[in-house]
Amino acid sequence: MDKSRFDFLQSNEGEADKGIFIVSLYKRVIWTFYRVLLKRVFCLTKIIHENKIDEEGSKMPLLVYVSRERRASYPHRFKAGALNTLLRVSGIMSNGQYIMVLNCDMYCKDPTTARQTMCFNFDPNISPSLAYVQFPQMFYIVNDNDIYEGGGRSAYMSMWEGMDGFKLMICCIFNRVFLSSLCNHLYDVLSTGETLRTLWNEQRFWMIQSVSGNLFGCIDMLMKRNGAKKASFRISNKAMDKEKLEKYEKGKYDFEGADRYMVPMTIMVILNIICFFGGIIRLVLENNVEDMFGQLFLSLYVLFLSYPIIEGLISSKSKTN
């Protein structure tokens, strides 16, 4: 939709009669029918406002709504395709030199962001191979427990500093054995001003990711590579659920709607329980502390990490019954 058409509709909004409303409703029904039948999202561009002045007399930025065309027979590349469309629209309408990309639930609180980005673009050693500048995300409503590791502390405050070649830390090398890796993680947490609770929650969530998320991610990738599954994109729910929020604030996991991810975690918990009690029986019968201490310690450590998982599995099971 061009600007003149949009201005016409906006100026005559109060003069629309019943007949125009019926025709508009009819067109909307036909549009929806074709969209559902052809599985196609049509291109739409709307100028929300241009050259407007706010109450304080300051000029407001140009605001444009863009919905790109998507067809079921053509790959649309998800967010990358959306950014390409926005680049084309921005090049035609404003031709801005810098583009800042934000999700719908994020905002930029630093007014010097553009200046910091320009430092990278003007650097002759970096700019020829520079694609984009990504700033770390900061979360301000994360619970003190942070059982889902939603703050991203390890990625934004430790690992990124070692991946860009500056301020390289020894903690970015995760090829240690169990105890040395745990000591490195402990130093990571304490050096960034966090507590032992953060260490415990991150260890637990890394275990959940390794058992469930990474496993299903590999299976999903192999199925897509072999053509057994098509690429899909599921929009996450941005609405706040009061019951889930209360569980999160109490430090309890919520596995509602994640049935298939519960299967490997349940198997892991059951195997560790069997191994732990079986090891105790073997320790009592054979009195072999040296051989069984490490195995029992590892099983007990996994069970301690799995306690909130067991609690979440039991609560979700009782809720379904």
Claim to verify: residue 44 and residue 110 sit in the same structural domain:
no
Which range marks the domain in which residue 197 is found?
136-233
Question: DSSP per residue over 40-103, as a string?
Answer: EE--EEEEEESS-B-TTSPBPPPEEEEE--EETTS---HHHHHHHHHHHHHHHHT--S------
Claim to verify: residue 175 and residue 261 sit in the same structural domain:
no
Claim to verify: residue 211 and residue 253 sit in the same structural domain:
no
Claim to verify: residue 316 and residue 289 sit in the same structural domain:
yes
36-47 residue pLDDT tens: 555 667 788 888
Give the chain's domain count.
4
Claim to verify: residue 70 and residue 121 sit in the same structural domain:
no
Claim to verify: residue 122 and residue 156 sit in the same structural domain:
no
Q: What global pTM score does this model have?
A: 0.41
* pLDDT level of residue 239 (50, 70, 90 thresholds): low
Q: 189: Cβ–Cβ under 8 A, 6 or more apart, which residues?
A: 153, 195, 196, 198, 199, 202
156-213 residue pLDDT tens: 776 666 555 444 444 444 444 566 677 777 888 888 888 888 888 888 888 877 888 7
Claim to verify: residue 243 and residue 310 sit in the same structural domain:
yes
